[in-house]
Amino acid sequence: MLIAGLLIASQALAFEPAVNKHGAEVSWDVMPVHWTYDDEGRPGEVAEDEALGALREAFASWNAVPGARVRFIEDDGTTPLDELNVVYWKPEWEWDADILALTSTWSQEDGEITRFAIAINGQADWATDGRKESMDLQNALTHEVGHALGLGHDESHAEATMAPTAGFGETGKRKLHRSDEDGARYLYPDGSVPMGCASSPAPPSVLWALALGILAAFRSRHRSRKED
């Protein structure tokens, strides 16, 4: 009985919805969500098409979850609303050096996400071919896109995309783990999210930001940060 109970508990804790300061789980009310990529500040060791390719694959992985109504669409950033959801390089990284990337989501009090931004640490050593001495860009971005959907860290599966750490040369997070897919299905059960135009952003006073990062190299160290 005790063993069965532990198993149930551990399964229940597989994925972790992110919660805002009002206690609401955060998610998008309307799909699709448009995103844009800003190439400014990209480090020289990664070519623009490599970076964009890694990013497209990261979004595509979540779009492909069976039974989840997740749809990200790449946009050219020509409309003001689409510029809200941007993936960009930050050459002067102001956070811990071992945080590879940082995703912020802004949500309403009831948890509706209205905006996200993914900052990539431009000082980290990136590659797109999984080479051992570098951090794999698609590996990290697939994790960050999970945050943009409203998922927090999965502390119970080291191999999950939403596990909080990544190692040099690691590419395992490119492919979603069952628990990652369960998280997407939990937040976006098929048929639950209307497809249409995204609603207008709410006034800044009712928005708040949630920021989560992933760490490089040290699995024994875990930090996540939240900020208002």
- Interface pattern 167-206 for Zn ion (x via CB under 5 A): ----------------------------------------
Quick check: 127 binds Zn ion (CB under 5 A)?
Answer: no
User: Closest distance between Zn ion and the C-beta of residue 226, in Å?
Assistant: 11
**Listing from the earlier edge strand, what are the strands of the sheet with 113-121?**
72-74, 33-38, 86-90, 113-121, 99-107, 208-216, 165-166
**Binder to Zn ion among 65, 145, 210, 214 (CB under 5 A)?**
214
Alpha helices in the chain (DSSP H): 2-12, 48-63, 137-149, 178-187
Quick check: 212 binds Zn ion (CB under 5 A)?
Answer: yes
User: Closest distance between Zn ion and the C-beta of residue 8, in Å?
Assistant: 26
User: Closest distance between Zn ion and the C-beta of residue 162, in Å?
Assistant: 7
Residues, the chain:
228
Which residue, 83 or 155, has its beta carbon nearer to Zn ion? 155
User: Closest distance between Zn ion and the C-beta of residue 144, in Å?
Assistant: 7
The helix (run of H) or strand (run of E) holding residue 94 is none
In whole angstroms, give the CA distance from residue 142 to residue 218: 19
Quick check: 100 binds Zn ion (CB under 5 A)?
Answer: no
Contact assessment for residue 130 and residue 169, using Cβ atoms and an 8 Å cutoff: yes
Which residue, 75 or 138, has its beta carbon nearer to Zn ion? 138
User: Closest distance between Zn ion and the C-beta of residue 152, in Å?
Assistant: 8
Residue list 131-160, contact with Zn ion (CB under 5 A): none
Quick check: 216 binds Zn ion (CB under 5 A)?
Answer: no
Which residue, 58 or 198, has its beta carbon nearer to Zn ion? 58
In whole angstroms, give the CA distance from residue 142 to residue 176: 8
Contact assessment for residue 72 and residue 86, using Cβ atoms and an 8 Å cutoff: no
Dihedral of the CA atoms 119, 124, 129, 132 (nearest 10)? -140
The helix (run of H) or strand (run of E) holding residue 121 is strand 113-121
Interface residues with Zn ion (CB under 5 A)? 212, 214
